[in-house]
Chains A and B, each alone.
Chain A
């Protein structure tokens, strides 16, 4: 130990001696080297910074290099949507699809008003007086007396304070939702909700909570969760609006929504209800007022009802109705209302006449219901296909009992069933979806649409034909 210490000391002494003995140039050189190292140490960071800036030439190279994707990917020539049916002439009870005459089980012409002479002559009279287009949005001389009349008539028909019309069915609920629900608000929505609702929710940028289709327990669970959340932050809760968005009859499933339970939840958790009734308006209830009449619910309990005029009324456009306190807000905030040209007057006149017919013949709804029930019953027990939807729904779905593996193959299989029926004079169509865009994509299905114009024989024929087709295609 001691020897080692002595040895070290000796080395140190020698070093100091060597320092004194070294020539001056050597020392200077070493000094410069040390300074250089220090300089390098400190200058390093600056160099890195400089290097990250792109020179103009590099930028040009980057721009030159960039290759965008094509604007649209190529579409395979055999894509089902590219080879759609072409209807010659009016899509009424008897329809000519791709040159073949069929009985129409595909168009949402529930009340058969599409070809109604009275409706047509009302539209003709309007055409004579107003021409076709309105050449302006509602605010800028696009409000016609017929629009005001139609709004009044719809409000009266639905027994609400006010109604507002849109010029496109899809834009109705898609504009109504973002008019009220904003960023930070919460919307509870059924996962089977149609695409228009989905787009409305997306435009609103609200907080979206999906509950299982028609599952009130699941909805209540979400509401309770929100309640606990609210207790944590009552200040935020005081300004967070809440909505439940449901459909009367679901477009994608043909189911009815359990409205009485929803009303209970509404008052229990203080949530407003928006109801989409495109399929149930002019169908359900003794006077066709929709699901509220069907359940005998006070219409004022629903905050907003929206429906399109493209199904039962066989016109174009849509409407919202409810109390003035709510509806009037859309006149300045409904985007599809304010920023779009208004509904062509002849279409408004047609809708008014269609309402007249509905009011004059309330038994038409009973007839429709009987026909729906008839075909619903007749379609039971088809091998390989199951009926989805309420027995009184005018649009029901036939789904495969067992999928054959991939969606693509299922669609092809169903197409063969549809083609089989089409060849024998029954026009049907598959329900089409944008597969990548849908939040919860429904399984592929054939949609069967019932109208009052179909006779009992035709309904039976359609059912037996479907049975036959399923037998030959699926087995």
Chain B
């Protein structure tokens, strides 16, 4: 991206350059973003990227980190105080207790293990697991619940909070819908097949519906073959162990999803972690692994596999795929790409990060993705060469031991995928992809302008907004709900301790009005809670900003 000759699109290059200058002038330190790109890390990425690749990881001022730690310290001190009071009977103990008959068993939980849950998480527990009672579309209905004992238990009032704007569900393309026409085929299949399958793929659970879906997925992704599984999480955790084993090396991004981590662990292979999206770190690990071989025995590794995600769900960053592919080719490693959040959500026709970077699906050895998010269904797939899929059909844990995918769910995926591919005879699918792109750009740009620190790639529909302090997590989510907006907030241990955040998932189904409502609420709340930490001053070149917006949205 730093190399002008590589940027095919003239005005994009122009915009990019200005933006860089703009950012550099304002003197923002970046963890992983632009500064890296300019250094050409590892491989010369100037020729690899066909379009601009901008990721922001602005660091907050020092005092924010200090106050965050102070916040945690105060919480911890009060936690100890209240634990002390509970121990002496000064405060009511609400914790469910062990059975009388089993009091002398080894305790099931260590007391300190739950300290954080009991004393810190509990205070803001009402912001998670909020039950909904409608389709998780752009707006949903929440069941109102109250607590009479400071979040130990909840009571439903029986009322519903109607039409809350949904900024939390992974409904990127808006396929979570109840439109009768759209769901017509799903209704028919449900009537025909019922819900269950009652057998595994290898026994009596391969239905014609699964075969149809697999062919379609392979066609959609432009690969030889594909296999589908009943659960996205299990697609990773039950297939990675089939692909690698003892004597193999897994190189895993430090921010990979739990399912990838679990799969890697269950495989018995050696696991090494590289820094998030950091190509120097990955290349060093690759070199060392090949040169020095396995620890202790110094035998050569049987194979090396790199595990990465397309879009990282907590950072909003997009994988540096072109660089990884060139590294993997150079060092003869294999690449396993988890497109859980990116399939459908990025790329000109929704075919994920591979398309986003203008690459060939054959560049990636194992293409994995889920149907939970963009397709509004459930389950996952693995696609690639026929050899790979044949091997999985015979060796995947899921194919042998787990019940196969529910047929109406398979039909939902088929109809959504056909819509995306234009096989339904409309351009609706393509419109959704375009709309998502527009919404994402608009939402991210506005948040930047307001002065919030947001992480990730400009094109990623996952938008994390940094809150930092633990006290602000609860305040933010509650006040947003008061304004009829449902948001997702995340804190430690899902994020680093100083980087609590709110996460928005932009959807193609969000209208401009909805986004504006959310943005206005955020603007107001950002001032009230003092969340606008960004030191990047938008007033420096406002006119450039406007210009770039016009270019990108046409």
Closest beta carbon of chain A to B228's beta carbon, Å: 13
**A346 and B390 contacting across the interface, CB-CB below 8 Å:** no
Interface segment among B20-28, B74-82, B101-109, B347-355: the answer is: B101-109
Produce 1/0 per residue, A223-239, CB < 8 A to B.
00000000000000111
Given that A239-B106, A344-B377 are contacting pairs, would A133 and B166 also be in contact in the complex, using a CB cutoff of 8 Å? no
Contacts of B408 in A (CB 8 A): 123, 127, 132, 346
**B400 and A133 contacting across the interface, CB-CB below 8 Å:** no
**B238 and A114 contacting across the interface, CB-CB below 8 Å:** no
Contacts of A68 in B (CB 8 A): 301-304, 332-334
Answer whether residue A19 sits at the interface, using C-beta atoms and an 8 A cutoff. Answer: no
**A132 and B195 contacting across the interface, CB-CB below 8 Å:** no
Closest beta carbon of chain A to B320's beta carbon, Å: 21
Determine the distance from Cα of A145 to Cα of B168 in the docked complex, in whole angstroms: 17
Closest beta carbon of chain B to A80's beta carbon, Å: 8
Answer whether residue B96 sits at the interface, using C-beta atoms and an 8 A cutoff. Answer: yes
B178, B191, B195: the one contacting A347 at CB < 8 Å is B195
**A95 and B196 contacting across the interface, CB-CB below 8 Å:** no
Closest beta carbon of chain A to B290's beta carbon, Å: 5
**A170 and B304 contacting across the interface, CB-CB below 8 Å:** no
Within 8 A of A (CB), among B256-310: 257-259, 262, 265-266, 287, 290-291, 300-305
Answer whether residue A240 sits at the interface, using C-beta atoms and an 8 A cutoff. Answer: yes
Size band of the interface chain B makes with A: 35 or more
Produce 1/0 per residue, B150-188, CB < 8 A to A.
000000000000000010111100011110100100110
Within 8 A of A (CB), among B368-385: 370-373, 375-378
**B259 and A340 contacting across the interface, CB-CB below 8 Å:** yes
Answer whether residue B409 sits at the interface, using C-beta atoms and an 8 A cutoff. Answer: yes
Determine the distance from Cα of A82 to Cα of B202 in the docked complex, in whole angstroms: 8
Contacts of B97 in A (CB 8 A): 325
A120, A142, A270, A325: the one contacting B99 at CB < 8 Å is A325
Interface segment among A9-17, A43-51, A427-435: the answer is: A427-435
Determine the distance from Cα of A139 to Cα of B258 in the docked complex, in whole angstroms: 15
Determine the distance from Cα of A69 to Cα of B365 in the docked complex, in whole angstroms: 14
Answer whether residue B316 sits at the interface, using C-beta atoms and an 8 A cutoff. Answer: no
Contacts of B194 in A (CB 8 A): 90, 92, 114-116, 119-120, 123, 314, 350
Answer whether residue A85 sits at the interface, using C-beta atoms and an 8 A cutoff. Answer: yes
Answer whether residue B461 sits at the interface, using C-beta atoms and an 8 A cutoff. Answer: no
**A311 and B391 contacting across the interface, CB-CB below 8 Å:** no
Produce 1/0 per residue, A207-245, CB < 8 A to B.
000000000000000000000000000000111111000
**B96 and A323 contacting across the interface, CB-CB below 8 Å:** yes
Answer whether residue A456 sits at the interface, using C-beta atoms and an 8 A cutoff. Answer: no
Answer whether residue A328 sits at the interface, using C-beta atoms and an 8 A cutoff. Answer: yes
Determine the distance from Cα of A173 to Cα of B417 in the docked complex, in whole angstroms: 32
Contacts of A430 in B (CB 8 A): 203
Interface segment among A32-40, A105-113, A368-376, A460-468: the answer is: A105-113
Produce 1/0 per residue, A315-340, CB < 8 A to B.
11000000111101101100110111
Closest beta carbon of chain A to B119's beta carbon, Å: 14
Within 8 A of B (CB), among A165-216: 167-171, 180, 194-196, 199, 202-203
Determine the distance from Cα of A332 to Cα of B372 in the docked complex, in whole angstroms: 21
Produce 1/0 per residue, A248-286, CB < 8 A to B.
000000000000000000010011100000000000000
Contacts of A81 in B (CB 8 A): 202, 393-394, 399-400
Within 8 A of A (CB), among B227-277: 230-234, 237-238, 241, 243, 257-259, 262, 265-266
Produce 1/0 per residue, A113-153, CB < 8 A to B.
11110011001100111111111101111111101100000
Determine the distance from Cα of A148 to Cα of B301 in the docked complex, in whole angstroms: 48
**A169 and B291 contacting across the interface, CB-CB below 8 Å:** no
Closest beta carbon of chain B to A348's beta carbon, Å: 10
Produce 1/0 per residue, B187-226, CB < 8 A to A.
1001111111111111111111001000000000000000
**B290 and A63 contacting across the interface, CB-CB below 8 Å:** yes
Answer whether residue A62 sits at the interface, using C-beta atoms and an 8 A cutoff. Answer: yes
Closest chain B residue, CB of each to CB of A87? B207
Answer whether residue A59 sits at the interface, using C-beta atoms and an 8 A cutoff. Answer: yes
Interface segment among B37-45, B47-55, B132-140: the answer is: B132-140
Answer whether residue A89 sits at the interface, using C-beta atoms and an 8 A cutoff. Answer: yes
Contacts of A447 in B (CB 8 A): 203
Interface centre among B176, B301, B365 (most CB of A within 10 A): B176
Answer whether residue A3 sits at the interface, using C-beta atoms and an 8 A cutoff. Answer: no
**B377 and A133 contacting across the interface, CB-CB below 8 Å:** yes
Interface segment among B85-93, B123-131, B426-434: the answer is: B123-131
Determine the distance from Cα of A350 to Cα of B192 in the docked complex, in whole angstroms: 15
Closest chain A residue, CB of each to CB of B336? A71
Answer whether residue A97 sits at the interface, using C-beta atoms and an 8 A cutoff. Answer: yes
**B195 and A143 contacting across the interface, CB-CB below 8 Å:** no
Answer whether residue A25 sits at the interface, using C-beta atoms and an 8 A cutoff. Answer: no
Answer whether residue B398 sits at the interface, using C-beta atoms and an 8 A cutoff. Answer: yes
Closest chain B residue, CB of each to CB of A451? B198
Answer whether residue A356 sits at the interface, using C-beta atoms and an 8 A cutoff. Answer: no
Answer whether residue B15 sits at the interface, using C-beta atoms and an 8 A cutoff. Answer: no
Answer whether residue A84 sits at the interface, using C-beta atoms and an 8 A cutoff. Answer: yes
Determine the distance from Cα of A62 to Cα of B292 in the docked complex, in whole angstroms: 9
**A59 and B291 contacting across the interface, CB-CB below 8 Å:** yes
**A311 and B192 contacting across the interface, CB-CB below 8 Å:** no
Determine the distance from Cα of A203 to Cα of B262 in the docked complex, in whole angstroms: 7
Answer whether residue A104 sits at the interface, using C-beta atoms and an 8 A cutoff. Answer: yes
Produce 1/0 per residue, A346-362, CB < 8 A to B.
11001000000000000
Determine the distance from Cα of A3 to Cα of B373 in the docked complex, in whole angstroms: 106
Interface centre among A70, A124, A130, A138 (most CB of B within 10 A): A130
**B186 and A136 contacting across the interface, CB-CB below 8 Å:** no
**B195 and A140 contacting across the interface, CB-CB below 8 Å:** no
Closest beta carbon of chain A to B22's beta carbon, Å: 34
A69, A82, A237, A340: the one contacting B394 at CB < 8 Å is A82
Answer whether residue A405 sits at the interface, using C-beta atoms and an 8 A cutoff. Answer: no
Contacts of B166 in A (CB 8 A): 141
Answer whether residue B388 sits at the interface, using C-beta atoms and an 8 A cutoff. Answer: yes
Closest chain A residue, CB of each to CB of B503? A140
Determine the distance from Cα of A75 to Cα of B386 in the docked complex, in whole angstroms: 10
**A202 and B266 contacting across the interface, CB-CB below 8 Å:** yes
Determine the distance from Cα of A429 to Cα of B234 in the docked complex, in whole angstroms: 24
**B377 and A432 contacting across the interface, CB-CB below 8 Å:** no
Determine the distance from Cα of A427 to Cα of B204 in the docked complex, in whole angstroms: 9
Answer whether residue B149 sits at the interface, using C-beta atoms and an 8 A cutoff. Answer: no
Given that A73-B391, A135-B136 are contacting pairs, would A203 and B333 also be in contact in the complex, using a CB cutoff of 8 Å? no
Closest chain A residue, CB of each to CB of B229? A168
Answer whether residue A442 sits at the interface, using C-beta atoms and an 8 A cutoff. Answer: no
Closest chain A residue, CB of each to CB of B178? A131
Answer whether residue A5 sits at the interface, using C-beta atoms and an 8 A cutoff. Answer: no
Closest chain B residue, CB of each to CB of A301? B101
Interface centre among B241, B365, B370, B377 (most CB of A within 10 A): B377
**B332 and A66 contacting across the interface, CB-CB below 8 Å:** yes
Contacts of A84 in B (CB 8 A): 201-203, 206, 393
**A106 and B303 contacting across the interface, CB-CB below 8 Å:** no
Answer whether residue B488 sits at the interface, using C-beta atoms and an 8 A cutoff. Answer: yes
Determine the distance from Cα of A109 to Cα of B196 in the docked complex, in whole angstroms: 9
Answer whether residue A67 sits at the interface, using C-beta atoms and an 8 A cutoff. Answer: yes
Closest chain A residue, CB of each to CB of B131? A143
B96, B190, B202, B388: the one contacting A432 at CB < 8 Å is B202
**B291 and A63 contacting across the interface, CB-CB below 8 Å:** yes
Answer whether residue B486 sits at the interface, using C-beta atoms and an 8 A cutoff. Answer: yes
The 5 A-B residue pairs whose C-beta atoms are closest, nearest first, are A340-B233, A72-B391, A168-B231, A314-B196, A106-B204
List 15 additional contacts besides A107-B198, A141-B136, A316-B195; criterion CB under 8 Å: A81-B400, A87-B208, A88-B207, A95-B204, A120-B194, A133-B375, A135-B136, A135-B169, A144-B132, A170-B403, A180-B108, A199-B266, A239-B110, A336-B231, A432-B202
Could you write out 22 A-B pairs with CB less than 8 Å apart?
Answer: A66-B301, A68-B334, A72-B243, A75-B391, A89-B193, A90-B192, A91-B198, A92-B194, A107-B199, A120-B190, A132-B176, A133-B176, A135-B376, A142-B169, A148-B131, A171-B233, A171-B234, A199-B397, A324-B96, A432-B200, A433-B400, A434-B395
